[in-house]
Amino acid sequence: MPLVLNFNKMNEKNRYWIKKLICIVVCLCTLSLVNGQKFEGLADTPPMGWSSWNNFQCDINEKVIMEIADAMVETGLRDAGYVYVNLDDCWQVGRDSLGFIIADPEKFPSGMKALSDYIHSKGLKMGIYSDAGKITCDGHPGSLGHEYQDAFQYARWGIDYLKLDWCATQNVNPVGAYNLMRDALYAAGRPILFSICEWGLSKPWTWAQNTAHMWRTHWDILDCFDCQGSFVTDDNGIVSGVNNGVLSVLDHQVNSLRQYSGPGHWNDPDMLMVGVNRLNVNQSRAHFSMWCMLAAPLILGNDVRNMTPETKNILLNKEVIAIDQDKTGIQGLKFLAEDGLEFWFKPLTNNDWAFCILNRTKTDKEYILNWQKFNLYDEVSKRFTDFDSKVYNMYNLWSKKNEGNTQKNKKIVIPGEDVVLYRLNLKNN
């Protein structure tokens, strides 16, 4: 026992330093065990839920959110898989004397714990929003310098999902900032799904697989099909991007991003605009179908308390949702663009394919599907469609009809600003 003897013989000062050293080593070991990890198993398929931003922006309060939770259950949205109820910006008003974040007492008089208890009692999960900078995009307190405190507060409140935005972040490094919040969430101990929202600026798909469960790839989506919004400027007034309608956001989900998305970590082209103001039924169907082809998170943006039957039909089509939620978790690919039409394929389980034809124009288009033209090899899934030697059944996912098989050419009509979406399967062939 020479070490113990020496320790006992040491003077008070040396003993103090040895104890301090042991403490530091133990702390570092503990930190290295918890650091660098996100919660696994929270997003094996793309996350599904609802968020307050697209329809309500800052006009939120606990009554609205509770009514939304009720409607998610009554309409069948929860049972179709939409389980997260997410507060976006504007729920926070300040910090207390210890630095803990305070929820707006006028909008949320019962407090966040009571709200999450209510949401959980409905079989749903609760999401919340913050920002990696000093203030959020709407000017409320952000998490910079309070990451661990905020993570512990969210855990105490029973939060299940955090979206972390990127406003007011001059001189903040995105990799460091998002990893810091990941570590804080992990240390807080409650499994919280982590969503990065820095609009694709630092290409998070190249570095965030072990940081978060999803990352935005683009600026904000607008509630229009083929339009461009106002320019986004940074805090110095420099134009850094532009918010866009559905088609333009889609154009940024290029094939080269496919390899980065998959179970546990998804490319996020932004929340859905189905049923929000300016999108008509055809455009909404096209938007929803394409997000499913992309294996995108399906976060609803509409007021689910007041849905038209058409909006319900779109959002509750379980066979289309199944394309998005397919266990292979592979983002679809754009194979061909021709005369305003786009032809997309998504590999599915059991060697099935989802096949979507998008009509970007306003006029209905007739098209003859010549299957030989669609023989393709997909580098990401390592699969061939192989229409020369395989015969697939064609099931139309919107009309819910079997439409024969791929043995012969087939004439189809794709309505303007709409899609025709098939599941191609080899069953009974």
**Catalytically active residues, by annotation:** 165, 220
| Of 293 and 299, CB closest to ligand GLA | 299
| Of 136 and 244, CB closest to ligand GLA | 136
| Of 87 and 356, CB closest to ligand GLA | 87
Question: Which residue among 220, 352, 417, 418 contacts ligand GLA (CB under 6 A)?
Answer: 220
DSSP string, 30-47: HHHHHTT---SSS-SS--
Q: Tell me how crowded residue 133 is: count the other CB atoms within 10 A of its CB.
A: 21
CA–CA separation, 307 and 136 (whole Å): 30
Torsion from C-alpha of 361, 363, 366, 369, nearest 10 degrees: 20
> Which residue, 142, 132, 145, is CA-closest to 92?
142
Q: Is 137 in the site for ligand GLA (CB under 6 A)?
A: yes
- Asked if 95 and 153 count as a contact pair (C-beta separation under 8 A), the reply is no
Site for ligand GLA in 165-194 (CB under 6 A): 165
Size of the site for ligand GLA (CB under 6 A): 9
| Of 97 and 230, CB closest to ligand GLA | 230
CA–CA separation, 196 and 213 (whole Å): 8
Stretch that binds ligand GLA, among 76-84, 133-141, 201-209, 344-352 (CB under 6 A): 133-141
Supply the minimum distance, in Å, between the C-beta of residue 97 and ligand GLA. Answer: 27
Question: Which residue among 44, 117, 138, 234 contacts ligand GLA (CB under 6 A)?
Answer: 138
> What residues contact 19, with CB distance under 8 A and at least 6 apart?
none
Q: Is 268 in the site for ligand GLA (CB under 6 A)?
A: no
| Of 233 and 349, CB closest to ligand GLA | 233
Supply the minimum distance, in Å, between the C-beta of residue 165 and ligand GLA. Answer: 5
- Asked if 55 and 300 count as a contact pair (C-beta separation under 8 A), the reply is no
Site for ligand GLA in 78-97 (CB under 6 A): 88-89
Q: Which two tokens stand for residue 230?
A: 């106002």
Supply the minimum distance, in Å, between the C-beta of residue 70 and ligand GLA. Answer: 24
Stretch that binds ligand GLA, among 13-21, 136-144, 407-415, 418-426 (CB under 6 A): 136-144
- Asked if 126 and 84 count as a contact pair (C-beta separation under 8 A), the reply is yes
Q: Is 223 in the site for ligand GLA (CB under 6 A)?
A: no
CA–CA separation, 378 and 274 (whole Å): 30
Angle at 108 between CA 144 and CA 123, to 5 degrees: 95
Provide the β-strand partners of residue 129.
163
Q: Which residues bind ligand GLA (CB under 6 A)?
A: 53, 88-89, 136-138, 165, 197, 220
